[in-house]
Amino acid sequence: MDAAEKLEIETRIGEVLRTIYDPEIPVNIYDLGLIYEINLDDDHVAHVTMTLTAPNCPMAEELVEEVKYKVGGAKGVKEVDLKLTFTPPWDKSMLSEEAKLELGFL
């Protein structure tokens, strides 16, 4: 896999993540800043590091499963290695400009 193909697949993963919404905030998890890292290795395993808006999120398990399912279904991805982290903890500064606008922070 060359660099262009890797970038294309990683971009596709980002697009897929933009279709997944936090259950409590009407913004997708990518623009919320919940995705810390997307890295595709040479074996087409997508390594995704993400967080949640709160460690005790009642929908955490469903959200993680949705990410695994949708990213795993993206063209060029064979497997998903998802890491959930709370370091650094999420805060509003991680919102994209679009999310800030949508939520009325701008």
pLDDT 10s digits, 3-40: 999 999 999 999 999 999 988 888 999 999 999 999 99
pLDDT 10s digits, 45-103: 999 999 998 888 788 889 999 999 999 999 999 999 999 999 999 999 999 999 999 88
Residue 79 CA to residue 46 CA, distance in Å, equals 6
The DSSP element (H or E) to which 97 belongs, if any, is: helix 97-102
Go through the domains of the chain in sequence order and give each one's CATH number. Answer: 3-102 (3.30.300.130)
Amino acid identity of residue 52, one-letter, is: L
Residue 89 CA to residue 106 CA, distance in Å, equals 22
For CA atoms 34, 37, 42, 43, the dihedral sign is negative
